[in-house]
Amino acid sequence: MSRNRIANAVAVASGFVLLCVAPTLAQAHSALPVAVQSQSMARPGTQPKKDAYPLNDFAGLNYTDAQKVEMDKIHRDMESRKSMVAKDQKLTSDQKDAMLLGYTRMEYVQDYKVLLPDQQKLVRQRLLARKASSQPGQKPPSRN
């Protein structure tokens, strides 16, 4: 019985060590030069398909100066992340497309959080109207 406890403790401890060391090993591995590039690798400037981006539901809103500053910060952060993904030689085209789309969605959500409640309501209405128009035969949910 005590051997099982010791074995379990050793397994847990080694798991924690592995979790702590894995990021360091990954960074060291990424620093190694790549000798051969696979044919499935994407070009550095790969961008996701244009129809993958959400429409600009924020168009026409009047922003406060604080909102403009915060949104500009969000856009700069996401652009730097997107450029790093585009330059990553280890990712395939599909992986890059998925990551770029994910960053675009994150940017959209973060921008939405910066909006005032009445602005958020307007954006929600635009989004619901867009979804309703893209799915003919279905009614948008009624808000009472």
Domain boundaries defined on the chain = 1-32, 42-134
- The per-residue pLDDT of the chain, averaged, comes to 73
Question: What's the confidence (pLDDT) of residue 10?
Answer: 56
Q: How far apart are alpha carbons 46 and 48 in whole angstroms?
A: 7
Tens of pLDDT, residues 108-119: 999 999 999 999
For residue 48, give the 3-state DSSP assignment.
coil
Supply the pTM of this predicted model: 0.55
Nearest Cα to 115, choosing from 51, 76, 66? 66
What's the pLDDT tens digit per position in 15-74?
Answer: 544 444 445 544 444 444 443 333 334 444 544 444 444 557 888 889 999 999 999 999
